[in-house]
Amino acid sequence: MKTLFIVAYGGGHINTQLEVAESYFNIGWKVIFLSVPNTTKLLKSIGKYQVYTFKDIADNDSLRLGEEILDSIHNYDTEIDVEESKAYAGVNYNDLINIYGGRKAKLLIENFSRRIFLPIQSIKKLMEEIKPDLVSVTLSAARAERASIIAAKLLGIKVMAFEDLFGTACAFSIYDQLYVKNIDVKKYLIRKGIPEENVIVQKNSEKNFQVASFHTGVDEYIGLRYKYVPDYVFAINEYAKEQLILRGLPSNRVHVVGQPAFDKIPRKIQGIQNIKKEKLIVVTTQPLDTRTQFFKLIKRAIVKLSKEYKIIIRFHPSSDGEAERQTFSNINPNIIVDRSHDLHEILIKAKLVITQTSTTGIEAAITKANVLSLSLGYDNLVSFEEAGISKELVNPSEREVNDCIDKILTGSTKKITDGLTYCDGKSVSRVIKITERI
């Protein structure tokens, strides 16, 4: 029996991997997960996969180190197990110490917090025990997922990575090389703890693509090079493939297959009889720095529309929803801040879905809903409109948002869906066909 080893964070990452796990399990593979704190409860509730947690791989030194930095990385307002967060933090801290020494590891964590986590040694040790035939991660996440890519490559194990959006996030790990414009930026990053050999000055070079500053904490760099590249990289559409190649991934390793997280949507649509659009508008939020700006841009329109439409404000799974409740609750009974509704059912029934560069926007577009994506600040790394997903406004004014919503609801603007060709429920079937020779 072949073994698939999966490492996944929450949100869209775990949704992708659950579809992958189910499909490989159904063709006779053994599926093993390494869960991170925000996926453990879900994975264990499924019951049919073997699940390792960071508590399983943490030794006493790791637990002690985790205690030291727990308050800086654990959100006590969530239901995430504190002991698991401690183990997760400690394993990562311990691995950094083993590679870079205590002083450098402390400096890195002080400057980058969890963004710099990269538990290669611990995951490599677990892989040596499990002996998987194939490793599966999502590409845009760093930390444990990028560590899994590196560990697998060091052990000669095939690894596949799913780009969960459009190839623009460029997750950075301390093993990767950053290209910067001048020596001052290099010195700054070195002071932050990034190894000198991993920061390369390229004078007279222009950044021909955007890179998310939240992965490094700086804007002044022009690109990166991954030291270890997955054997297979799977993209949702041709636009995403182009973006991944632009960022240095070999074209012969990037395959357009669709997105596994969305495979269930066409099946679900087929299973719902007599689908009718309702007087419903869904707003999905993101825990981004620009969230307050997003709220401000849509609030007036939401209040106005709530006189005629039911409004569901659906907050992100990594958020507690408090910011959304403070902004939108107690305005009108038609405005509901909640996550308890079945996501795909409300997307199917909605007249309009408003989102902020979220995978939910893609899901909504697949259900044939009208979608408006607002791209604000640093999160405008991807254009939903260029990617062929939905109507998009980049750093709009409140008036532009209101006008666009009116046009969508009155049917005077054209839907954009040409980037959804492969979102037909068959993406994992394509993946299995590509990897079947393993």
Does residue 217 surpass a pLDDT of 60?
no
| Residues 195 and 244 both lie in one domain | no
Same domain, residue pair 246 and 268: no
Note the pLDDT tens digit of each residue in 309-352.
999 999 988 788 999 999 998 888 999 999 999 888 899 899 99
Residue 207: pLDDT band with limits 50, 70, 90 = low
Do 9 and 48 share a domain, yes or no?
yes
Q: Please give the residue range of the domain that contains residue 181.
A: 177-223
Q: Same structural domain for residues 240 and 312?
A: no
pTM reported for the whole predicted model: 0.83
Domain count, the chain: 3
How many whole angstroms separate alpha carbon 161 and alpha carbon 255? 10
Q: How many other CB atoms are there within 10 angstroms of residue 177's CB atom?
A: 17
Residues 197 and 277 in one domain: no
Tell me the per-residue pLDDT of 14-72, one tens digit each, with 9 for 90 and over. 889 999 999 999 999 999 999 988 888 888 999 899 999 999 999 999 999 999 999 88
pLDDT for 348-367, tens place per residue?
899 999 998 777 888 888 88
Contact 381, 168 (CB under 8 A): yes
Domain boundary (223, 251, 283) is at: 223
**What CATH number is given to the structural domain containing 406?**
3.40.50.2000
Check residue 29 and give its pLDDT.
96
Long-range Cβ contact pairs of 175-178 (< 8 A, separation 24 or more): 175/118, 175/120, 175/146, 175/150, 175/227, 175/228, 176/224, 176/225, 176/226, 176/227, 177/224, 177/225, 177/227, 178/216, 178/221, 178/223, 178/224
Cα 310 from Cα 355, distance rounded (Å) = 16
Q: Which one, of 405, 400, 395, 345, lies nearest residue 370 by Cα? A: 405
Q: How confident is the model over 214-219, as a mean pLDDT?
A: 56
Q: How confident is the model at residue 170 (pLDDT cuts 50, 70, 90)?
A: low
- Do 15 and 48 reside in the same domain of the chain? yes
Residues 17 and 139 in one domain: yes
Write down the pLDDT at residue 346: 92
Eight-state DSSP code of residue 275: -
For 249-260, the pLDDT digits (tens) are 899 999 999 999
Do 245 and 314 lie in one domain? The reply is no
Is the pLDDT at 215 greater than 90, yes or no? no
Same domain, 397 and 268: yes
Question: In percent, how much of the chain has pLDDT > 70?
Answer: 92
Higher-confidence position of 289 and 146: 146
Are 280 and 385 found together in one domain? yes
Q: Three-class SS of residue 420?
A: helix
Q: What is the largest CA-CA distance in the chain?
A: 63
The burial of 262, by beta-carbon neighbours within 10 Å (0-12 exposed, 13-18 middle, 19 or more buried), is given as buried
The answer to whether residues 289 and 414 belong to one domain is: yes
Residue 48 shares a structural domain with residue 35: yes
